[in-house]
């Protein structure tokens, strides 16, 4: 592990939904105080369905804030790593994963705000790295894994969408890949958009099956599950599960550019990458607190 001083910024230091002048002032004060070499922005408004009815707020947090951060990073000669999303694509591409230069046509407000941020960040900073990833899973916070585990303990039958394809990306995987990339490229300019997620692919239904099968083997979970067989997890179409925001059917990201530049040894399969985080969630019983 490289010797890095890590400074986390929370809502108290900077509320990205505040008035733009207040946001700019708090960002400027933070940069002037800490003079960071790198800034990683994983902050976002991520409630994809609610975003459809909170458009101004979503754009403020997801687009104006990253733009202000990129402007300050440029002024203070810091490198910005900004996280973007598979949702910048409409998902209609068939037969292959999306490449960085494929046409962006977001289907929902969240995706539109993430696309606006990409353009604003790259315009404001000469050294910003924009990383599009997909289906992020952390041990803390809320995510699909915890939702499936909770529902599997509450209900004997689940219906899960099977026609949206993508790749789960554990937060720990993203952290180690980004750190490694920054270390490998020290001195060299890196800029632009890269796709990053583990290898392989799945859909939400197959992903849920895997999570619940793993839980069924875990001593702490096996007796709590109401789901008794894989047949109790029904595969359904997106059309049978209407949501406020439309979602892309194809969320697969082609990571060849990342592999070539930063990770020539390859990227792990998503199950291998996710196994440690899933084990931690199962061992620590995080879902009962969420
Ligand atoms: N989740 C996915 O499937 C997915 C897929 C592709 C890309 N991404 C991108 O990956 C990044 C991380 O996503 P995530 O799922 O980890 O997000 P998350 O769990 O929703 O976390 C978002 C973070 O942003 C902070 N935040 C939100 N509004 C804020 C505000 N007004 N002021 C200050 N902080 C605020 C939250 O703070 P609190 O903890 O205080 O609420 C939280 O720490 C985002 O850029 C997202 O767009 C996510």
**Choice among 45, 87, 110, 194 that is catalytic:** 110
Q: Which of 136, 146, 172 to mutate to test the pocket of ligand 1 (most atoms within 8 A of CB)?
A: 136
Alpha-carbon distances, residue 89 vs 36, 244, 281 (angstroms): 32, 17, 30
- Asked if residue 135 belongs to a domain, the reply is yes
Which distant-in-sequence residues (6+ apart) come within 8 Å of 277 by Cβ?
137, 138, 139, 145, 170, 171, 172
- Structural domain includes residue 174: yes
Please report whether residue 242 resides in a domain.
yes
Q: Are 91 and 80 in contact, with CB atoms under 8 Å apart?
A: no
Residue 139 lies in a domain: yes
* Ligand 1, pocket residues at CB < 6 Å: 11, 15-17, 42-46, 61, 83, 85-86, 114, 133-136, 138, 141
Low-confidence ranges of the chain (pLDDT < 50): 289-290
Q: Considering the domain boundaries, does residue 120 fall inside one? A: yes
Q: Residue 224 Cα, ligand 1 centroid: separation in angstroms?
A: 30
Residue 48 CA, ligand 1 centroid: distance in Å: 11
- CATH at residue 280: 3.40.50.720
Cα 41 to ligand 1 centre (Å): 9
Ligand 1 atom with the shortest distance to the CA of 17: 31
Q: Is residue 42 part of a domain?
A: yes
Is 110 annotated in the active site? yes
The answer to whether the pTM exceeds 0.85 is yes
**Structural domain contains residue 8:** no
Domain that holds residue 160: 20-289
Residue 113 domain flag: yes
- Please give the distance, rounded to the nearest whole angstrom, from the Cα atom of residue 45 to the centre of ligand 1: 6
3-state secondary structure of 202: strand
Atom of ligand 1 nearest to the CA of 41: 45
Number of domains in the chain: 1
Q: DSSP labels for 77-134?
A: TPEEEEEEEGGGS-S---SSPBPTTSPP--SSHHHHHHHHHHHHHHHH-TT-EEEEE-
Ligand 1 atom with least separation from CA of 46: 20
């Amino acid at each position: 592990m490289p010797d890095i001083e890590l400074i986390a910024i929370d809502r108290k230091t900077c509320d990205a939904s505040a008035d733009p002048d207040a946001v700019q002032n708090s960002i400027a004060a933070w940069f002037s105080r800490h003079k960071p070499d790198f800034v990683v922005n994983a902050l976002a408004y991520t409630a994809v369905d609610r975003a459809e009815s909170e458009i101004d707020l979503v754009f403020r947090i997801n687009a104006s804030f990253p733009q202000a951060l990129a402007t300050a990073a440029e002024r203070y000669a810091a490198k910005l790593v900004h996280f973007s999303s598979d949702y910048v694509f409409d998902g209609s591409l068939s037969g292959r994963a999306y490449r960085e230069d494929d046409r962006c046509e977001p289907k929902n407000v969240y995706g539109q705000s993430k696309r606006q941020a990409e353009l604003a960040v790259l315009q404001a900073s000469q050294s910003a790295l924009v990383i599009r990833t997909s289906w992020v899973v952390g041990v803390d916070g809320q995510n699909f894994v915890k939702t499936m585990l909770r529902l599997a303990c509450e209900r004997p039958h689940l219906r899960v969408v099977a026609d949206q394809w993508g790749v789960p990306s554990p937060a720990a995987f993203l952290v180690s890949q980004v750190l490694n990339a920054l270390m490998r490229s020290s001195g060299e300019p890196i800029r632009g958009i890269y796709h990053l997620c583990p290898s392989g692919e799945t859909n939400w239904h197959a992903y849920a099956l895997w999570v619940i099968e793993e839980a069924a083997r875990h001593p702490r979970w096996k007796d709590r599950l109401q789901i008794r067989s894989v047949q109790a997890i029904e595969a359904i179409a997106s059309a049978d599960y209407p949501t406020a925001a439309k979602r892309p059917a194809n969320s697969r990201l082609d990571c060849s550019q990342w592999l070539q530049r930063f990770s020539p040894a390859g990227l792990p399969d998503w199950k291998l990458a996710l196994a440690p985080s899933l084990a931690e969630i199962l061992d620590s019983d995080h879902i009962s607190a969420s």
